């Protein structure tokens, strides 16, 4: 597989073309941003951890019937994935109140939600990824009703699988963000990443934060937290 020119550079990853038009290579960076890019920094080793962890979890999800864009891990920071048209939504799944939900509804962080909450944000940095609902999504043509039904089903299934998995390493999955894409042959697949950048992980016993909130909130021990969750999940 030949790595060709760069197609796109995002805040945490770069995407490269390959000699197969249906495949691209993602390369994970150590760059970290928060608050829509207002806060910038570097988390040493993050790219390697996020690449390996995403691939580890996507393989687990695939085994359990969740289609993903994952094809093959090429190196510490590079992964071959299916080329997709990204549905321009951030799909947020919440089990416990935290972050923007706590702020919006005045709920103490750590309040268990009596049901899983799904939220959608329109992916647009200039607009600050505004929250939208299914009426906006249908009216703007970002995804059709059948696609949204499938996205919601997959998001719930992914949540069940991830919660169970993380419980086994004494971690509570508080909330996380997913992105979905559509392949050239029309298949809806899980895309992007599943990592401490895109999930809130709290130690089940101490409630210590093991995710990017340590960077967002200047809590210190950022690299250590990424390493800890990585070791608990994948060993070494
Ligand atoms: P929030 O509480 O800030 O809305 O975040 C909810 C979840 O989504 C949290 O696990 C972090 C993740 N997230 C992203 O992956 N990217 C983003 O740009 C934001 C705002 C949140």
198 close to ligand 1 (CB < 6 Angstrom): yes
**Radius of gyration (Cα) for the chain, nearest Å?**
17
Please tell me whether residues 200 and 100 are part of one structural domain.
yes
Other C-beta atoms closer than 10 Å to the C-beta of 115 total 7
Domain tally for the chain? 2
If asked whether residues 76 and 92 sit together in one domain, one would say no
Whether residue 129 is found in the same domain as residue 71: no
Mutation to probe ligand 1, out of 34, 39, 99 (largest number of atoms < 8 A from CB) = 99
Nearest CA to ligand 1 atom 17: 198
On whether both 69 and 110 belong to a single domain, the answer is no
What predicted TM-score, i.e. pTM, was given to this entire model?
Answer: 0.98
* 90, 92, 107, 162, best to mutate for ligand 1 pocket (most atoms within 8 Å of CB): 92
Give the CATH number, domain containing residue 37: 3.30.200.20
Residues 117, 13: one domain? Answer: no
Q: Which CATH number goes with the domain that contains 182?
A: 3.30.470.20
Tokens standing for 64? 């359990």
Q: 91 and 202, same structural domain?
A: yes
What is the whole-number distance in angstroms between the Cα of residue 176 and the centre of ligand 1?
7
Question: What are the average pLDDT values for consecutive 10-residue runs of the chain, which has 236 residues?
Answer: 96 98 98 96 98 98 98 98 98 99 98 98 97 98 98 99 98 99 98 98 98 98 98 94
The answer to whether the CB of 138 falls within 8 A of the CB of 37 is: no
Q: Which of 37, 46, 163, 175 to mutate to test the pocket of ligand 1 (most atoms within 8 A of CB)?
A: 175
Any residues with CB less than 8 A from the CB of 185 and at least 6 apart, and which?
none
Q: Which residues contact 100 (CB under 8 A, 6 or more apart)?
A: none
Q: How far is CA 146 from the centre of its chain?
A: 22
Give nearest CA residue, ligand 1 atom 2: 99
Based on the fold, state whether residues 115 and 223 are members of the same structural domain: yes
Q: Are residues 227 and 144 in the same domain?
A: yes
Helix (H) or strand (E) holding 61: helix 46-63
Is 175 close to ligand 1, i.e. is its CB under 6 Å away? Answer: yes
- Picking from 55, 84, 113, the residue at the C-terminal end of a domain is 84
Do 128 and 162 have their domain in common?
A: yes
State the number of CA atoms in the 13 A half-sphere of 163 facing the CB.
13
Say yes or no: 54 and 106 in one domain: no
For the chain, give the longest Cα–Cα distance. 51
Q: Is the CB of 155 under 6 A from ligand 1?
A: no
Per DSSP (E only), the strands in the chain are 3-9, 13-18, 23-28, 31-34, 39-42, 70-73, 78-82, 84-86, 89-96, 112-122, 131-132, 171-183, 188-191, 199-203
Q: How many angstroms is it from 90 CA to the middle of ligand 1?
A: 9
Closest Cα to residue 216, out of 73, 52, 37?
Answer: 37
> Structural domain of residue 181, as residue ranges?
85-234
Question: 96 pairs with which residues across the strands?
Answer: 112
Q: What's the 19 CA to ligand 1 centre distance in angstroms?
A: 34
Residues 214, 102: one domain? Answer: yes
Of the candidates 36, 66, 84, which is a domain's last residue? 84
Query: Quick one: 91 exposed, middle or buried, by C-beta within 10 A (0-12, 13-18, 19+)?
Result: buried
- Residue 23's nearest CA partner among 179, 154, 181 is 181
- What's the pLDDT score for residue 236? 75
Helix (H, G, I), strand (E, B) or coil at 17: strand
- Angle ∠(31,227,95) on CA atoms, nearest 5: 85
Q: Which atom of ligand 1 is nearest to the CA of 100?
A: 2
Q: Clarify whether residues 168 and 223 are in a common domain.
A: yes
Nearest CA to ligand 1 atom 12: 198
- Residue 78, CB half-sphere, CA atoms under 13 Å: how many? 14
Q: Which of 47, 65, 84 finishes a domain? A: 84
């Amino acid at each position: 597989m030949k790595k060709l020119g760069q197609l796109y550079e995002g805040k945490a990853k770069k995407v490269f073309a390959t000699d197969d038009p249906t495949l691209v290579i993602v390369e994970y960076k150590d760059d970290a941003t928060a608050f829509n890019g207002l806060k910038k920094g570097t988390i040493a080793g993050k790219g390697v951890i996020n690449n390996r962890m995403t691939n580890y979890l996507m393989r687990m999800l695939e085994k359990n019937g969740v289609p993903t864009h994952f094809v093959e891990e090429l190196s510490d920071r590079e992964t071959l994935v299916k080329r997709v048209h990204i549905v321009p939504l951030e799909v947020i799944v919440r089990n416990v109140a935290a972050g923007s939900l706590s702020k919006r509804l005045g709920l103490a962080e750590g309040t268990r939600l009596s049901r899983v909450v799904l939220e959608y944000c329109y992916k647009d940095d200039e607009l600050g990824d505004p929250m939208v609902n299914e009426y906006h999504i249908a009216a703007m043509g970002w995804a059709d009703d059948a696609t949204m039904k499938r996205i919601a089903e997959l998001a719930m299934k992914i949540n069940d699988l991830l919660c169970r998995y993380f419980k086994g390493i004494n971690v509570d999955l508080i909330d996380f963000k997913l992105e979905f894409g559509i392949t050239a042959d029309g298949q809806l697949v899980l895309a992007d990443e599943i990592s401490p950048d895109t999930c809130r992980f709290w130690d089940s016993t101490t409630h210590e934060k093991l995710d990017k909130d340590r960077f967002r909130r200047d809590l210190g021990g950022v690299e250590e937290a990424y390493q800890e969750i990585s070791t608990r999940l994948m060993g070494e």
